[in-house]
């Protein structure tokens, strides 16, 4: 029982932490017209703000292996929460473009540290069910954020209020992590001696993991960003119906993670991943075949439902892919690859659209889903060959 209780506390704090990250991320789209007007920049300037945040996130993620060895997982989480609070407060207080970019960089560093820390802990200490559960709360935060910001704007409150609320939530998280800092210790060093990023990244398992995360995130983002265009402009759906089904796609993410997180029996992680990647490919195939409205919509919802558990399940199986001793470097490298994939793959779909027309969107989604399923099978065979100790399921 003395071991079980801290495990529950860490899962609860990690869930709250990912909710906090989702809350801030979800507010930006709704707040942006008000932010751009107040800062005197065009709406298109969002195309610079988001990459600044992403660059800071990726920078910290890549350095997370060394930071983990220096500060420990608890230290990374405390620093990340403090940076996120500072970034959100500066963002709320900013009245010019330069400060907005600076605060985005600070918040991006905080987000990268928190994400790396929570996922390193999950990869070392948690099983597939608990990891899916904590990731489900990112979706809860991402849904709550736009709702909170919309309500504030409708009630005549300034957009800054939303970011003060988000910073307050992050402050509560920081206090929780600080109070429980000893509980974030993992079973021995997450990086073996000499396994700094340049050495660890040369291992085929880490490169394979990076490819998996890049394709997975790229597929997630591409389906979310491009499906509305495919359904409305390409296939004649009304704006209302297409918007509802794209919302169902995102809701499916959270639902899929909750379902895996609450499985009544212990299903091997590789079986969950195989089922989800194959089902995602079949769902993408339904969307691509365009057999009618029903088949397209089942494909959209299926993509969300089955893709949702893939990312957290890949986190939970990191040690099985790479063996002992390089977990935090691998997690950081994988998260950085995920960030890059989330930008590159959707851009590639845009190029395909320009060359091949609207149906090229569906073809690209099928191709990414097929690549994800194939990469998982390669990773599963590698994992089978490696002898590594299992992480306890919570």
Please choose, from the candidates 191, 142, 125, 134, the residue with its C-alpha nearest in 3D space to the C-alpha of residue 329.
Answer: 191
Mean pLDDT, contiguous 10-residue spans, the chain (394 residues): 56 93 85 87 82 90 82 90 95 90 94 92 86 90 86 91 95 93 67 43 72 94 86 86 84 90 80 94 94 88 94 87 71 88 88 89 94 92 61 40
Do 81 and 132 lie in one domain? The reply is yes
Q: Please give the pLDDT value at position 393.
A: 39
At which of 151, 185, 219 does a domain end?
A: 185
Do 225 and 310 lie in one domain? The reply is yes
Do 180 and 213 lie in one domain? The reply is no
Do 240 and 338 lie in one domain? The reply is yes
Q: Which residues of 152-179 are buried (b: 16+ CB within 10 A; e: fewer)?
A: bbeeeeebbbbbebbbebbbebbebbee
Do 173 and 207 lie in one domain? The reply is no
Task: Determine, yes or no, domain membership for 367.
Answer: yes
- Quote the tokens at residue 344: 């590159």
Sequence-separated (6 or more) residues with CB below 8 Å from residue 168:
none
pLDDT digits 0-9 by tens, 296-337: 889 999 999 999 999 999 998 887 777 665 677 788 888 899
Give the Cα separation of 8 and 12 in Å (integer).
6
Task: Determine, yes or no, domain membership for 394.
Answer: no
Please choose, from the candidates 16, 25, 14, the residue with its C-alpha nearest in 3D space to the C-alpha of residue 73.
Answer: 14
Q: How far is CA 221 from the centre of its chain?
A: 10
Is residue 353 classed as helix, strand or coil in its secondary structure?
helix
Do 313 and 237 lie in one domain? The reply is yes
Task: Determine, yes or no, domain membership for 391.
Answer: no
Do 226 and 360 lie in one domain? The reply is yes
Do 12 and 136 lie in one domain? The reply is yes
- Quote the tokens at residue 377: 């099978």
Q: Please give the pLDDT value at position 187.
A: 55
At which of 185, 209, 225 does a domain end?
A: 185
Tally the domains of the chain: 2
Do 165 and 26 lie in one domain? The reply is yes
pLDDT digits 0-9 by tens, 68-99: 778 888 899 999 999 999 999 999 998 889 99
Task: Determine, yes or no, domain membership for 141.
Answer: yes
At which of 185, 211, 238 does a domain end?
A: 185
Which domain range does residue 57 map to? 4-185
Q: Please give the pLDDT value at position 203.
A: 64
Q: Please give the pLDDT value at position 238.
A: 87
**H/E stretch holding 145:** helix 128-154
Task: Determine, yes or no, domain membership for 150.
Answer: yes
């Amino acid at each position: 029982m003395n071991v079980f209780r801290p495990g529950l506390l860490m899962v609860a704090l990690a869930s709250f932490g990912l909710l906090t990250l989702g809350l801030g991320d979800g507010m930006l789209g709704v707040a942006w017209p008000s932010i751009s007007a107040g800062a005197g920049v065009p709406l298109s300037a969002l195309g610079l703000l988001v990459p600044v945040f992403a660059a800071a996130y990726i920078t910290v993620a890549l350095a997370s292996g060394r930071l983990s060895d220096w500060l420990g997982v608890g230290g990374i989480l405390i620093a990340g929460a403090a940076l996120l609070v500072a970034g959100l407060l500066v963002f709320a207080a900013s009245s010019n473009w330069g400060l907005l970019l600076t605060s985005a960089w600070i918040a991006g560093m905080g987000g990268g540290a928190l994400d790396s820390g929570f996922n390193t802990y999950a990869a070392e200490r948690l099983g597939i069910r608990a990891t899916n559960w904590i990731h489900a709360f990112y979706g809860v935060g991402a849904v709550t954020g736009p709702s909170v910001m919309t309500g504030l704007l409708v009630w005549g409150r300034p957009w800054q209020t939303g970011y003060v609320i988000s910073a307050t939530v992050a402050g509560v998280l920081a206090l929780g992590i600080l109070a429980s800092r000893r509980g974030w210790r993992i079973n021995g060093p997450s990086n073996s001696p000499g396994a700094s990023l340049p050495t660890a990244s040369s291992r085929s398992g880490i490169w394979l993991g990076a490819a998996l995360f890049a394709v997975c995130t790229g597929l997630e983002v591409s389906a979310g960003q491009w499906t509305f265009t495919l359904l409305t402009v390409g296939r004649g759906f009304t704006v209302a119906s297409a918007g509802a089904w794209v919302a169902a796609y995102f809701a499916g993410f959270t639902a899929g993670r909750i379902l895996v997180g609450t499985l009544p029996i212990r299903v091997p992680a590789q079986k969950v991943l195989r089922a989800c990647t194959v089902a995602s490919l079949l769902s993408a195939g339904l969307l691509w075949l365009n057999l009618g409205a029903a088949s397209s919509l089942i494909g959209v919802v299926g993509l969300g439902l089955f893709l949702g558990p893939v990312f957290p399940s890949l986190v939970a199986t990191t040690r099985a892919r790479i063996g002992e001793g390089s977990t935090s470097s691998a997690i950081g490298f994988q998260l950085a690859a995920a960030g890059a994939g989330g930008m590159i793959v959707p851009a590639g779909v845009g190029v395909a659209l320009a060359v091949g027309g609207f149906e090229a969107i569906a073809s690209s989604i099928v191709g990414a889903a097929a690549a994800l399923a194939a990469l998982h099978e390669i990773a599963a065979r590698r994992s089978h060959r490696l002898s590594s100790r299992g992480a306890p399921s919570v």
